[in-house]
Amino acid sequence: MNNIIHKSHVKHYPDPKILAEEIGNLKYDSLANLFQELSNKFLKDAKADSFRGRKKLAKYLDALYSHSQMMKFEAEKLWKICEPYMKENE
């Protein structure tokens, strides 16, 4: 059985404000990719918890999956607006 160790912070980013600032400064296509990867992780965890009988936990992880998918779609919309104005090396 593979136990996940949940951490209190991301390595090199003990302050969530700094991490949020770094993420918020990503190009919107990169941000959409990040949200997709988070979505994938939440869905994977939801399925695993459901399999283990943790229905309430799985339900909320599935909700996180749905919300992160919405964030991905919104970031993609932002990218479509901004992409024509991006310079080659940005």
Given a cut of 80, whether residue 3 has pLDDT beyond it is no
Q: How many CB atoms are closer than 10 A to CB 19?
A: 14
For residue 27, give the 3-state DSSP assignment. coil
pLDDT band at residue 87, thresholds of 50, 70 and 90? confident
The answer to whether residues 42 and 61 touch, using CB atoms and an 8 Å cutoff, is yes
Q: How many CB atoms are closer than 10 A to CB 51?
A: 9
Per residue in 12-71, pLDDT (tens digit) is 999 999 999 999 999 999 999 999 999 999 999 999 999 999 999 999 999 999 999 999
User: How many residues are present in the chain?
Assistant: 90
What pLDDT, on the 0 to 100 scale, is given for residue 46?
97
Given a cut of 70, whether residue 90 has pLDDT beyond it is no
The answer to whether residues 42 and 30 touch, using CB atoms and an 8 Å cutoff, is no
What pLDDT, on the 0 to 100 scale, is given for residue 6?
82
